[in-house]
Chains A and B, each alone.
Chain A
Amino acid sequence: MSTDDAHDPKFGEYGGQYVPEALMPAMEELEDAYERYVLENEDGFMDEFRERLADFGGRPTPLQYAEQLSERYDTDVYLKREDLLHGGAHKLNNALGQVLLAKYMGKERIIAETGAGQHGTATAMAAAHLDMPCEIYMGETDIARQRPNVFRMRINGAEVNPVTVGRGTLKEAITETFRDWATTVERTHYVVGSVVGPHPFPKLVRDFQAVISEEAREQAIEQTGGLPDAVVACAGGGSNTMGAFAEFVADESVELHAVEAGGSSLEVDEEEGVAPNSATLSTGDEGVLHGARTKLLQDSDGQIMESHSVSAGLDYAGVGPELAHLVDEGRVTPANVDDDAALEAFHRLSQDEGVIPALETAHAFAYLEERRDDLGDTVVVNVSGRGDKDLETVIEETSERDLDIAPDLSVFERVGGGL
C-alpha cells in the first residue's frame, strides 16, 4: 500500500474536492470508508476483495515474456497481461473494489459513467456478481460506437442511460453521473472509473489498481532476478497507468512512461473548442474539472475542449491529479503517439505475439516501437485490455489509411459479402 497521507486531498497542487455542496458529505463518508476498509482492512474488507479478485477475476495475471518483440527491439519485453482479467481489461480491479466497498458502506444502488464501455461493463459485472442494482451513464456517441459493450452491460442486468448533451462522450457522461449522485447520494455509490474526480477517488482507485504493479514487481524479480528498467502504460484518465506505476514509484531506477493519445494532431482548434488529441499530460494546462485540480485540455477562457482519439478509452480532456503531479515532479515521463502509430502497433502485436490489444493499449506499444532499444534492457508494458471491442473500429480506420501492416480482408469479397 502506498505511504502517502490518506487524509491529504492534494498531490502537490493537484487534486482537491471541487464538488457541489450536496456531495461534500458523501466525500467525507467515502474518505472514512476508504480509511477503515481499504487502508485498515476493517471487517476483513481487503481480504474479501483479494479473494474475489482471484476467484471471480482470475488474478494474478501473468507477466509474459514477449519473444518476437524482444527480438525486434533487442530488449527483453515483458507483457503484464491485464487483458486476461475477467472482462478483458484492468477495469475490474477498481469496479469490483468499489462495488464491494459500497456494500460494506450499506449503499443500495450503484451508478457509473463509461466512455469506451469498459468501465461500464466491469461495473455491471461486479454489480451482478455482488447483487447490487446498477445504472450506467454513457454518451450517445459512445453508445453508437461501442455497441458490443452496451450489449454486455444490458446482459449483466445494468440499465444504460444515454447522455445526449454536448458531443455525447465521456466528459458529458461524468457530468451526468455526478448529477444523478447529487440527487441520490444517501443510498447510492458512484463508482468513478479512473484515478480522476474529487478526493478520495484518485487514491481509492489507485489502491485498487495497484495490484497490477504489486504483482508485476514481484513477477519481474522472480523471473528476471531484478527490477525492470522501464514500465510503459497508456494513459487516458490514468487508472491502468497508476495501477502499473504505483508500486514502482519508490524504485528510482525504474523509468515510468505514460503514453497518451496524440490523436490526429497536437494542434488545437481554439475557435471550435476542439483538441484533435487527448494528450493532456504533454499539452494540457492546469485547471479544475470534475472535482479536481489537474491538467486539462481547455481554451484560454477555461472552457473544456472536446478531445479526440481513435481509442474511445483515452478520449478524455482531463487526467488523474496524481499522474499530473508525478509528471511535474519528473518521476513520470509523458509521451504521446498518434492514431496511425497506434493502429500499426495494434496489428503488430496481434501478428507478432498473438495478443490482440485494446486500441488504448496499442498506444503503449506504438511508443515501444518509437523508442525501440533505448528504454533499457528490460521493459514491462502493461497490456491494459484486449481488443475484441475495437475490431470494427480497427477494420474501418485501417482500411481508410491503407496501412501496409493491415491484414488483407479480400476474403469477404471472394464470398461476395464485401466489408
Chain B
Amino acid sequence: MGLERAFADEPAFVPYLAAGDPTYEASLSYVEALARGGADAIELGLPFSEPMAEGRTIQNAIVRSLDAGMTVERYFEFVADLDVDVPVVCMTYYNLIYQYGGSEAQSASDASGATASKGPRPFVEKAAEVGIEGFVVPDLPAEEAGPLRAACDEFGLDLVFIVAPTTTGERLDRMREQVSGYVYVQARLGVTGAREDVDDATEESLARLADWDVPKAVGFGIKTGDHAARIVGAGADGIIVGSALIDIVAEGHDNGDPAEAVADRLEAKARELKEGALRGESERPQPERT
C-alpha cells in the first residue's frame, strides 16, 4: 500500500525541497528534475514561519519561499501542478495542518458566537484531493498524533514518524503502532543539515528497528553518493536528502543562475545519490546461505 511502494524493488532515494523556493515556477522545475534524476518519492516542504527542527539551510529555503508568496493554498496548487509520477509526501509543522479550514469555520461561527472547530481533517482531505500521499510532521510526536492518524486513515494517507537516536522503549512502541508508509530514521542528533561523515547512531537506530515491517529511510546529513552507499550498506531501505540539494538551489539563487542550469545540477546530484544508494545495496554483506 501507499508510500511503501517507493521502496519495493530497490533502495529508494527520497529528496526534500521546500515548495516555492526560490519561486513557484523554478521550484516546480526543480522537483521535476529530481524525479528525472531517479527520485522514488518526494518530501515536499510546506514552509512554516517557525521551523524548529530545521537547520539553517532549510530555514533559509523556507524564508525564500515565504518571501516569494507561498501560502497553504498555493502549496496545494503547486502539488496539483507538479508533473511527476512518484508519490509526494507533505512535510510541514502541525500548526498549518491544524489551522486549515479553521478560518472559514471561524467566520461562519462568528455570527453564532460558537467556537471554531479546528483539527487536521480538512487539511488531510484537501491534501488527498490534490494527490499528496503522506505526511511527515517534525513537531508532532506520537503522543499528540491521534487526530492526524485518524484523518490519514479516513482518507487513505500515510503518516511517517521520525525516529531519533534518543528514541527508545515505550516511545518506540507508540510510534510503531501509528507509523505507516516508511519510518524516517534520524541519522544523528541535531537539526537537518549536510555533513560529511556517517554516524554510529545510524547503525544503532537501524538495529533497533530491524523487526519493524515498514521500510527504513535514513535522513539528516547525507551529502554524496558515497555517503548514500554507506548508509544503504548499513541496512537502510532508502535515503532522504534535503540540505545537500537545497545548497544547490541556494547557490543558484545567490549567483542569479538560470533555473534550467540549477535544474540540471539537481538532476545530476539526484543521479549521483540514487546510484550511490544502488551501489550500497550491492555492497551489503550477504547473509550466509545454507
Mark A residues whose CB is within 8 Å of B.
9, 16-22, 24-26, 165-166, 171, 175, 178-179, 182-186, 273, 285-291, 296, 298, 300-304
In the complex, chain B residues whose CB is within 8 Å of the CB of A20:
52-53, 138-139, 162, 164
Q: How far is the CA of A178 from the CA of B55 in the complex (A)?
A: 11
Name B189's contact: one of A16, A22, A175, A178 (CB within 8 Å): A22
> Measured between alpha carbons, how far is A186 from B63 in the docked complex, in Å?
30
Residues of B within 8 A of A304 (CB): 49-50, 95
Query: Is residue B22 within 8 Å, beta carbon to beta carbon, of the partner chain?
Result: no
Chain B residues contacting A273 (CB-CB under 8 Å) are 49
Query: Is the pair A301, B71 in contact by a Cβ cutoff of 8 Å?
Result: yes
Q: Does B2 contact A (CB under 8 A)?
A: no
Q: Does B66 contact A (CB under 8 A)?
A: yes
> Whose C-beta in chain A lies nearest to the C-beta of B98?
A288
How distant is the Cα of A182 from the Cα of B95 in the complex, in angstroms?
20
Name the segment of B6-14, B127-135, B140-148, B265-273 touching the other chain: B140-148
Contact A18 B139 (CB under 8 A): yes
Residues on B with beta carbons closer than 8 Å to the beta carbon of A16 = 143-144
Leading 5 A-B pairs by shortest Cβ distance = A302-B99, A183-B190, A300-B103, A22-B164, A20-B53
The residue on A at minimum CB distance from B141 is A24
Q: Does B171 contact A (CB under 8 A)?
A: yes
Bound CA span A179–B53, Å: 6
- B202 within 8 A of partner (CB): no
* B96 interface residue per 8 A CB criterion: yes
Interchain CA distance A165-B56 in the complex, whole Å: 9
Q: Which of A184, A291, A302 contacts B96 (CB 8 A)?
A: A302
Tell me, yes or no, whether B224 is within 8 Å of chain A by CB.
no
Q: Which residue of A lies closest to B161 (CB)?
A: A21
CA distance A289 to B95 in the complex (A): 7
Q: Are B50 and A289 in contact (CB under 8 A)?
A: yes
Which of chain B's residues has its CB closest to A301's CB? B72
Q: Which residue of B lies closest to A24 (CB)?
A: B141
Is the beta-carbon distance between B53 and A171 smaller than 8 angstroms?
no
B122 close to A (CB within 8 Å) = no
Q: How far is the CB of A144 from chain B (nearest CB, A)?
A: 20
The answer, among A165, A300, A301, A303, for a CB contact under 8 Å with B59, is A165
A160 shortest CB reach to chain B, Å: 18
Given contacts A18-B94, A288-B95, contact A25 B53 (CB under 8 A): no
Given contacts A183-B190, A302-B98, A303-B66, contact A21 B162 (CB under 8 A): yes
Contact, CB under 8 Å: B139 / A22: no
With a cutoff of 8 Å between Cβ atoms, the chain A residues found around residue B162 in the complex are 20-21
Residue pair A286, B49 in contact (C-beta under 8 Å): no
Q: Which residues of B contact A166 (CB under 8 A)?
A: 49, 63
Q: Are B50 and A175 in contact (CB under 8 A)?
A: yes
Expressed in whole angstroms, the Cα–Cα distance for A302 and B137 within the complex equals 15
B118: A residues at CB distance < 8 A? 286
A21/B186 in contact, CB under 8 A: yes
Indicate if the CB atoms of B72 and A179 lie closer than 8 Å.
no
A287 and B166 in contact, given A18-B140, A301-B72 (Cβ under 8 angstroms): no
B189 touches A301 (CB 8 A): no
Inter-subunit contact A303/B167 (CB<8 Å): no
Given the known interface contacts A182-B191, A183-B191, A302-B100, the answer about A175 and B164 at a Cβ–Cβ threshold of 8 Å is: no
Chain B 153-164 near chain A by CB (<8 Å), digits 1 or 0: 000000001111
Closest to B115 in A: A286
| Nearest CB on B from A350, distance (A) | 37
Q: Does B51 contact A (CB under 8 A)?
A: yes
- Residues 42-53 of B, flagged 1 when their CB comes within 8 A of A and 0 if not, give 000000111111
Could you give 29 example pairs across A and B, Cβ below 8 Å?
A: A18-B140, A21-B138, A21-B141, A21-B164, A21-B167, A21-B186, A22-B186, A24-B141, A25-B166, A25-B167, A25-B168, A26-B166, A165-B56, A166-B63, A175-B50, A175-B51, A179-B52, A179-B54, A182-B191, A183-B189, A288-B94, A288-B98, A290-B52, A301-B72, A301-B99, A302-B48, A303-B66, A304-B49, A304-B50
Residues of chain B with a CB closer than 8 A to A182's CB: 53, 189-191
Which of A17, A165, A296 contacts B63 (CB under 8 A)?
A165
B215 in the interface, Cβ–Cβ < 8 Å? no
Task: List the B side residues contacting A175 at CB < 8 Å.
Answer: 50-52
B242 at the interface (CB under 8 A from A): no
- Tell me, in angstroms, the Cα distance from A303 to B73 when the chains sit together: 13
**Complexed CA–CA distance, A289 and B100 (Å):** 15
Contact with A along B241-262 (1 / 0, CB 8 A): 0000000000000000000000
Residues in A with CB closer than 8 Å to B191 are 179, 182-183
In the complex, what's the smallest C-beta–C-beta distance from A361 to chain B, in angstroms?
28
Q: Is there a chain A Cβ closer than 8 Å to B165's Cβ?
A: yes
| Those of B95-139 within 8 Å (CB) of chain A | 95-96, 98-100, 103, 106, 118, 138-139
Q: Which residue of B lies closest to A164 (CB)?
A: B56
A76 to B141, CA, bound (A): 49
Considering the chains assembled together, what is the distance between the CA atoms of A174 and B48 in angstroms? Answer: 15
A398 to B191 Cα, complex, angstroms: 43
Minimum distance in angstroms from B68 CB to a CB of chain A: 14
Chain B residues with CB under 8 A of A287: 95, 98-99
Chain B CB count within 10 A is highest, among A21, A165, A184, A288, for A21
